[in-house]
Amino acid sequence: MLTADAGDASALTRQLVAPAGDGSEEQVAGGEGAVYWWCPRGASLTTPVAEELARRSRGHVVTTRNLRTMVRLTA
């Protein structure tokens, strides 16, 4: 997930670590202006982090892209 505000990304990363939880199939990490999130294929709408993302991203300017698209955008 990308956001226009690095502070938003940092705060969102902290908030998403808990839903991912220990032993979860999901992984969350933060970067400058971005939240890196990995989930199993086909689960991006149904995982605890996905539900939390939907709830928390309301009112924020955000976009999500898969790794393949990000590689193309940065090439």
- Is residue 74 situated within a structural domain? no
- Is residue 75 situated within a structural domain? no
Q: Is the pTM of this model over 0.85?
A: no
- Is residue 72 situated within a structural domain? no
Question: For the chain, what is the domain count?
Answer: 1
- Is residue 45 situated within a structural domain? yes
pLDDT of residue 72: 92
Measured distance CA(5)–CA(75) in Å, rounded: 23
- Is residue 73 situated within a structural domain? no
Angle (nearest 5°) at CA 41 between 19 and 69: 100
- Is residue 34 situated within a structural domain? yes
Q: 53 burial class (0-12, 13-18, 19+ CB within 10 angstroms)? A: buried
Q: Per-residue pLDDT tens for 30-55?
A: 887 788 888 888 888 888 888 887 88
- Is residue 27 situated within a structural domain? yes
The range of the structural domain enclosing residue 29 comes to 2-67
